Amino acid sequence: MAKHQENQGFAPSSLQSERYFQTMRSASTSALPNPHASEWYNPHAGQPRAEARIAAMPQPQQPLGAYPSISHSHAEGPVQAASRRLGAQDVEREARRLLAEERVLAGPQVYTEGGEALRTVRIPSALISRFVALADPNTQRNIETLGLLMGRLTRDVFTVSHLMVPKQTGTSDRCDTVDEESIICLGWIHTHPFYSSFLSSRDLHTHSGWQSLLPEAVAIVCAPNSDPAVGLFRLTDPPGLKTIINCRVPGEFHPHASASGESLALYTDVTHVVLDGSAPLSVDDLR
């Protein structure tokens, strides 16, 4: 696992922990494991208790509070921009492998770490490739791009039907909407042109606002120059959501730890999302 992810409290789900712990510690760009070839993904298997998953996590080897600087993060190798650049369709295919689209659309019942049921979120698989493509001019200039996932609730299933790219400003490590409208969203998607697919401390605070309104809210990070090139995340609940909402540490980029200084599992990859290749999608680029 990359150092910047350990510092921000990433706790892979039981379904995908093997992939993250193996591939994110190496610079290999070989094909991802076949989800049906091992126990990497089993839609019919039960999920162990969150406490057991968190306890089994490798402990960060970097002292708590020593959040890496940009130069340090680059030295640790979270990106391989010189040797790896994926196109929009490649990023979409990687997302399909992450979520094992072959499973039944309804999917198994998924719960938060506190035992609350999460409803399924259906996302058109084309959303990721279309977003990466429209963000590519910014990605080539090392500028982040942000989009909003909009949709509806039908028969207790959320379906993303619109990708809206609002007016925004961006730099290499942040992006902000301009003249933000009062709308209801199912989550958000943004790029990391220079870094890998993880949630920075700023991203954690941004997503806490979405997830406090909608427990099923999804944060998608596309990193075409990195491995893995895409991640779909949510805050753990508990302890991630409450920890971030109650955080009063100044500055945009900072580590999070418990009162006793112990590391916390603040966010994880989603298991309640399904990529649907047949779902229609409307893209509104308002920039």
pTM: 0.65
How confident is the prediction for the chain on average, in pLDDT? 75
**Highest mean pLDDT out of 27-41, 166-180, 231-245:** 231-245
Cβ distance 89 to 133 under 8 Å? Answer: no
- Copy the structure tokens of residue 283: 């893209």
CA distance 66 to 8: 11
Residue 254's pLDDT is what? 86
Whether 230 shows a pLDDT value over 90: the answer reads yes
Please, are residues 124 and 279 in contact by the beta-carbon 8 Å criterion?
yes
pLDDT at 109 over 90: no
- The whole-number average pLDDT for the span 181-185 is 59
Among 66-75, 152-161, 247-256, 268-277, the range with the most confident prediction by mean pLDDT is 268-277
Region of residue 217 (left: phi > 0; alpha: psi -120 to 50; beta: else): beta
Position 74 pLDDT exceeds 70: no
- Using DSSP, state whether 116 is helix, strand or coil: coil
Give the CATH number of domain 3-285. 3.40.140.10
> Taking 70 as the threshold, does the pLDDT of residue 57 lie above it?
no
How does residue 256 score in pLDDT terms, banded at 50, 70 and 90? confident
Q: Is the pLDDT of residue 170 over 60?
A: yes
SS3 74: helix
Domain boundaries in the chain?
Answer: 3-285
pLDDT of 233 strictly over 90 = yes
257 and 104 Cβ atoms separated by less than 8 Å? no
C-beta separation of 83 from 77 below 8 A: no
DSSP 235-258: E-TTTHHHHHHT----SSS---B-
Q: Does the pLDDT of residue 171 top 70, yes or no?
A: yes
- From the list 98, 90, 139, 105, the residue with the least C-alpha distance to 268 is 98
